[in-house]
Chain A
């Protein structure tokens, strides 16, 4: 259901203000969404003044600096810091992306940092992605081959392998799914761009024998056709992939093939 306003317990209040203590001339204000599960309070926006002279180039560097030097209570997910693991996906400057690959120079004015949109917040910038992982499981993202010879290699031509380009690189960071308004309103039923891109990845895999069954499974008014090509997903993807195109390809396959 479309619910434009936030529930009462999710309304965001103004939080604390952390003034700069380094005396630096090059200061940027960073507004960070905070919510502490141990209190009864609503979420709040804390503002930090960060010394940019001693801060590397990415948004994650700012967060690390805040956590290490200003406020150690800040919670966020991060791991590889090289855009490979997808842990530090969050909303920066109004757009989803990976904090470790997003240069803060690309954001004008104050830097606003929120968790991924329309998720249940666990703490601060950490959103609950359980629903998305369950949906990912539902498309059965593994090779299904009926071949009886389990010991021999399944050959794939270079052309067939090329079909997986642009789909296999996905790191499941959830930037695309949580940027999608359709997924916000129907996230319980609509699979969302991330999962549909993976569904596509298995549908076009020449080694997989369950192509038709897979297509049948996603051919659903809510699971697939809630995509209205808003293209927030493609513009959000930090790996430069195109989930919207993959979804269109699935729709095209369903429209043209006898399934």
Chain B
């Protein structure tokens, strides 16, 4: 009987289940969360290297000024933007609002498009006001 139990196959799950806006936002929320933790660590590391002298700062600054470095920076800005907007969505849901299917779809899309708009906005603010 135990042999029979073990023989039973597991029905397909994530391989066949269709994605929709809310599940996409949810998994992206997790992934961006992990990216954010890693990038915060790197930012901390970068700032602590300042203690050890100017040359360290210059090395990292050189890397971040390259095309690849800029891509990474923009990626991190997007990841933070996404996380913030998605977190606001979750906070509203925790208060018990916005659970109707149409609303969740709308707020999900808002998070996705909003994250890109926020990224561009932060980029422009950085470019024209902070340098």
Total B residues in contact with A, Cβ cutoff 8 Å: 28
| Per-residue A-contact encoding for B1-15, CB less than 8 Å = 1, 0 else | 000110111111111
User: CA separation between A229 and B94, bound complex, in Å?
Assistant: 9
Total A residues in contact with B, Cβ cutoff 8 Å: 44
A117 proximity list for chain B (CB < 8 A) = 11-14, 16-17
B130 interface residue (CB < 8 Å to A): no
Q: Is the CB of A95 within 8 A of B4?
A: no
Q: Separation in Å of the A23 CB from the closest CB of chain B?
A: 32
Q: Separation in Å of the A107 CB from the closest CB of chain B?
A: 10
Q: Is the CB of A184 within 8 A of B23?
A: no
| Per-residue A-contact encoding for B95-106, CB less than 8 Å = 1, 0 else | 110011100100
User: CA separation between A64 and B20, bound complex, in Å?
Assistant: 30
User: CA separation between A242 and B22, bound complex, in Å?
Assistant: 14
Stretch from A4-12, A67-75, A133-141 contacting the other chain = A4-12
B5 proximity list for chain A (CB < 8 A) = 120
A244 proximity list for chain B (CB < 8 A) = 99
Q: Is the CB of B16 within 8 A of A230?
A: no
B26 interface residue (CB < 8 Å to A): yes
Q: Separation in Å of the A27 CB from the closest CB of chain B?
A: 23
Q: Separation in Å of the A223 CB from the closest CB of chain B?
A: 18
B15 proximity list for chain A (CB < 8 A) = 6
Smallest CB gap from A244: residue in B: B99
Q: Can you name 24 A-B pairs with beta carbons within 8 Å? A: A7-B9, A9-B9, A10-B9, A10-B12, A12-B12, A33-B12, A37-B4, A42-B9, A91-B17, A112-B16, A117-B13, A117-B14, A117-B17, A118-B11, A119-B10, A122-B8, A181-B23, A184-B14, A231-B23, A231-B101, A231-B104, A232-B23, A235-B22, A244-B99
